[in-house]
Amino acid sequence: MNIHFEKTKNYLLELNFTIRKEIEPEGIFVIEKENFGIKNLIIGVAYPILIVEQFIFKVKKPNEAMFKALLQKNRDIIHGAFVLDEKGERVIFRDTLQLENLDINELEATLNSLSLLLSEYSNEIIEFSKY
């Protein structure tokens, strides 16, 4: 078993996240913790980095004001950032961490940052998803 995959799995379990799916050959976890507002979060163990991605909403009509607001909010996010997918159709929360020295506190900080973002910015996210 890949040591980084196993270490990540142990951290997720210790942090009381539910692992809905794991695909070890691809280094993928799909996790959730609904009381944190986190559902279907994808974690990719892709040495030398750990990739954390949470789908936020689909962009129906690209809007300069919305993109500007998301970029401005990025400044307040402690860990991670809003990003667009390759096609510019989906807004995603994304963070990357170094696997070589990853510890549970670092992973927890990213997951807490996402949870805080979702709780503080939920009204805006709901409005943006209506565009």
One CATH from 3.10.129.10, 3.30.1460.10, 3.40.605.10, 3.40.50.720 for 3-129: 3.30.1460.10
- Tell me the pLDDT band of 4, cut-offs 50, 70 and 90: very high
Which pLDDT tens digit goes with each residue over 16-60?
999 999 999 999 999 999 999 999 999 999 999 999 999 999 999
- Tell me the pLDDT band of 130, cut-offs 50, 70 and 90: confident
Where along the chain do its domains lie?
3-129
What is the pTM for the complete model shown? 0.94
Average pLDDT estimate for 57-67 = 93
pLDDT of residue 1: 53
How would you write the chain as a 3-class SS string? CCHHHHHHHHHHHHCCCEEEEEEHHHCEEEEEEHHHCEEEEEEEEECCEEEEEEEEEECCCCCHHHHHHHHHHHCCCCCCEEEECCCCCEEEEEEEEECCCCCHHHHHHHHHHHHHHHHHCHHHHHHHHCC
Which pLDDT tens digit goes with each residue over 81-120?
999 999 999 999 999 999 999 999 999 999 999 999 999 9
